[in-house]
């Protein structure tokens, strides 16, 4: 695997679970609202906006943590939805976000993005496997 491929894999091993969590309301309630849990919405925001992507400007991450233009478009939509929910969480608590009227749109867009990202990763895995076994 190339150095760029390793970097993409490292970024996505963090980014994809964050997107999956945003698309899973039972997980959000069970984990984010549990004060003893490490993961919370702040962690998700840092993953999507700071550490492994920029949901406000996702095109900069095409080929880094996002594989396709479709992922870029959906990540941009997710950023818009998350920013809309921020306006409804003045105290910045996870519970406020989950109650926000904009939150169902976050869940819906994240679900679509998660499906696309997982499908793209599985396709890449098959391509890598086939390349390895073709060379043998």
* pLDDT tens digits, 20-65: 999 999 999 999 999 898 889 999 999 999 999 999 999 999 999 9
Domain boundaries, the chain: 3-135
Instruction: Kindly report, residue by residue over 68-87, the tens digit of the pLDDT.
Output: 999 999 999 999 999 999 99
Closest by CA position to 85, among listed 68, 111, 104, 64:
104
Residue 136 has pLDDT above 70, yes or no: no
Contact by Cβ (8 Å): 58, 83: no
Residues 100, 51, 2, 17: what is their CA dihedral angle, to the nearest 10 degrees?
Answer: -30
CA distance 121 to 107: 21
Q: At what angle do helices 103-135 and 69-86 cross, to 10 degrees?
A: 150
| The two three-digit tokens of residue 64, written as one number | 């880094």
The pLDDT of residue 135: 61
Percent of the chain with pLDDT over 90: 80
Residue 26: CB atoms within 10 A of its CB come to: 7
């Amino acid at each position: 695997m190339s150095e760029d491929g390793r970097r993409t894999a490292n970024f996505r091993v963090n980014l994809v679970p964050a997107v999956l969590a945003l698309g899973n309301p039972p997980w959000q309630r069970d984990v984010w609202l549990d004060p003893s849990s490490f993961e919370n919405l702040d962690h998700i925001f840092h993953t999507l906006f700071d550490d492994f992507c920029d949901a406000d400007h996702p095109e900069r991450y095409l080929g880094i943590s996002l594989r396709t233009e479709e992922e870029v478009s959906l990540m941009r939509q997710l950023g818009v939805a998350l920013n809309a929910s921020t306006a409804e969480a003045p105290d910045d608590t996870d519970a406020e976000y989950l109650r926000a009227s904009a939150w169902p749109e976050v869940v819906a867009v994240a679900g679509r993005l998660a499906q696309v990202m997982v499908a793209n990763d599985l396709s890449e895995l098959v391509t890598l496997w086939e390349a390895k076994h073709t060379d043998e």
